[in-house]
């Protein structure tokens, strides 16, 4: 025997009991498949299983995974999938291998199969082959990368995945340069930091499309972004987006003020979905000049406010409400593209990386 018997380890929201199995030598994929079937049957009839993709999440300790668990499950239910979580904790010397399996049902069908593989010590070397053996054939493979955008493991993910989702906003902005290098070589990378600035892009495009303001679109010459506390990837990507669309644009980015993390903690404790706070590095203000008009976009709590001054028709004020930050919202947005590059993101990230020099 190279493994023990399955052990029930608790109840996940919307899921049958999570089952666990430990391995002494290597990983027995057949046993994991059998365990997955048991998980389907424990909720009654195994029923139909609906999957549109393989969603693979890679982390380097269990705390990273637990922090992202709700996000992965919410996005995985919205985009039915087989979710494979690989936790490669080689910081622990003791060698161990564990598989945890569970399913989530909606309307009688299994629309999320979750397999969590945890390896410590030298057992980490088994994870890559186990992952490849557990993928559903003929479905796209999207990798959620929980580490830094570098290293051999990421390179192997780039070679095998249809799409890779990172969060450059969770890393120092200097890592944008390495991400831009992968993108320049055609890597199919998506970015949660890119999804965070969609509302800023949307309101800017909306205001510039107003009939009495369209005349200014060809005259934009300067743009600046203010980030909270420190310059972050979101601000750099926002300027990169504008610079990739407008040639010879003079740009500036700086940090100012403090983030809103304390308010965010109170909001999370209330259990009510609220707009995400202005965290460190997030955008507080975007401004660009199209002489004689000046366009200013600023965040006031849960509202984005647009003001245009200097236009012949007088001052324009426009407001839009930001979306509440529910688990998995940003990841679900990036999962709308299951393979290949988002060309606009690629161009924006490469332009943003040049601002670091």
Q: Where are the domains of the chain?
A: 7-139, 196-354
Average pLDDT of the residues in 112-122 = 93
Hey, what's the torsion of the CAs at 58, 59, 60, 63, to 10 degrees?
Answer: -160
Phi, psi of 9 (to 5 degrees): -130, 35
With CA atoms as reference, report the closest residue to 283 among 232, 241, 354, 326. Answer: 232
Question: What are the φ and ψ backbone dihedral angles of 62, each rounded to 5 degrees?
Answer: -65, -30
Number of CB atoms found within 10 A of residue 162's CB: 16
> What is the residue whose two structure tokens read 């299994």?
110
Read off the pLDDT band of 313 (50, 70, 90).
confident
| Pick from 82, 97, 174: nearest CA to 129 | 97
Distances in Å between the alpha carbon of 6 and those of 21, 29, 98?
5, 14, 11
Report phi then psi at 304, rounded to 5.
Answer: -100, 125
At 105, list the tokens: 């049902």
Split at pLDDT 50, 70, 90, the class of 339 is very high
* Across 331-336, average pLDDT: 95
- Please state, in angstroms and as integers, the Cα–Cα distance from residue 155 to each residue in 62, 146, 158, 185, 218, following that order: 22, 14, 5, 12, 40
CA–CA distance, 207 with 214 (Å, rounded to integer): 9
Q: CA end-to-end span of the chain, whole Å?
A: 57
Q: How do residues 204-250 score in pLDDT, each as one tens digit?
A: 999 999 999 999 999 999 999 999 999 999 999 999 999 999 988 99
- In this predicted structure, the answer to whether residue 10 has a pLDDT above a threshold of 70 is no
pLDDT at 43: 64
Distance CA 310, CA 291 (A): 8
pLDDT of residue 77: 87
Grade residue 15 by pLDDT with cuts at 50, 70 and 90.
Answer: very low
- 355 within 8 A of 242, measured Cβ to Cβ: no
pLDDT at 352 over 50: yes
CA distance 106 to 194: 30
Ranking 135-144, 156-165, 216-225 by mean pLDDT, the lowest is 156-165
Dihedral through CA 190, CA 195, CA 197, CA 201, nearest 10? 90
Contact 133, 50 (CB under 8 A): no
- Taking the mean position of all CA atoms in its chain, how far away is CA 228? 20
Q: Which helix (H) or strand (E) holds 257?
A: none
Distance separating alpha carbons of residues 208 and 210, to the nearest angstrom: 6
The CATH number of 196-354 is which of 3.30.360, 3.30.160, 3.90.320, 3.30.70? 3.30.360
Instruction: Please compute, for residue 184, the number of CA atoms within 13 A of its CA located in the half-sphere on the CB side.
Output: 12
Report how far residue 162's alpha carbon sits from residue 139's, in angstroms, rounded to the nearest whole number.
10
State yes or no: pLDDT of 148 exceeds 70: no
Determine the Cα–Cα distance for residues 50 and 55; give it in Å rounded to an integer. 13
Instruction: Check: CB of residue 254 under 8 Å from CB of residue 231.
Output: yes
């Amino acid at each position: 025997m190279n493994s023990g018997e399955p052990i029930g380890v608790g109840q996940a929201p919307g899921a049958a009991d999570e089952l666990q199995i430990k391995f002494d030598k290597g990983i027995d994929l057949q046993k994991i498949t059998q365990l997955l079937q048991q998980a389907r049957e424990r909720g009654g009839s195994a029923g139909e299983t609906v999957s549109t993709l393989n969603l693979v999440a890679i982390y380097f300790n269990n705390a990273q995974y637990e922090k992202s668990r709700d996000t992965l499950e919410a996005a995985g239910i919205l985009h039915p999938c087989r979710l494979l979580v690989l936790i490669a904790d080689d910081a622990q010397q003791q060698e161990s291998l564990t598989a945890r399996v569970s399913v989530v049902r909606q309307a009688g069908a299994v629309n999320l199969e979750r397999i969590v593989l945890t390896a410590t010590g030298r057992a980490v070397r088994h994870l890559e082959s186990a992952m490849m053996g557990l993928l559903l054939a003929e479905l796209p493979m999207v990798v959620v990368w929980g580490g830094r955008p570098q290293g051999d493991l990421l390179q192997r993910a780039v070679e095998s995945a249809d799409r890779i989702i990172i969060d450059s906003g969770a890393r120092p902005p200097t890592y944008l340069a390495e991400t831009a290098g992968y993108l320049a070589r055609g890597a199919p990378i998506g970015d949660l930091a890119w999804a965070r600035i969609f509302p800023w892009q949307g309101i800017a495009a909306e205001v510039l499309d107003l009939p009495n303001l369209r005349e200014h679109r060809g005259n934009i010459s300067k743009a600046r972004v203010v980030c909270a506390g420190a310059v972050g990837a979101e601000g750099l990507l926002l300027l990169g987006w504008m610079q990739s669309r407008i040639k010879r644009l003079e740009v500036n980015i700086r940090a100012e003020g403090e983030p809103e993390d304390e308010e965010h903690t109170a909001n999370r404790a209330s259990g009510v979905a609220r707009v995400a706070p202005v965290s460190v590095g997030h955008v507080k203000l975007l401004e660009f000049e199209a002489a004689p008009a000046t366009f200013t976009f600023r965040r006031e709590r849960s509202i984005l406010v647009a003001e245009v001054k200097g236009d012949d028709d007088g001052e324009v004020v426009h407001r839009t409400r930001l979306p509440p930050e529910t688990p998995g919202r940003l990841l679900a947005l990036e999962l709308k593209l299951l393979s290949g590059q988002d060309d606009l993101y690629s161009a924006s990230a490469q332009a943003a990386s040049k601002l670091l020099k």
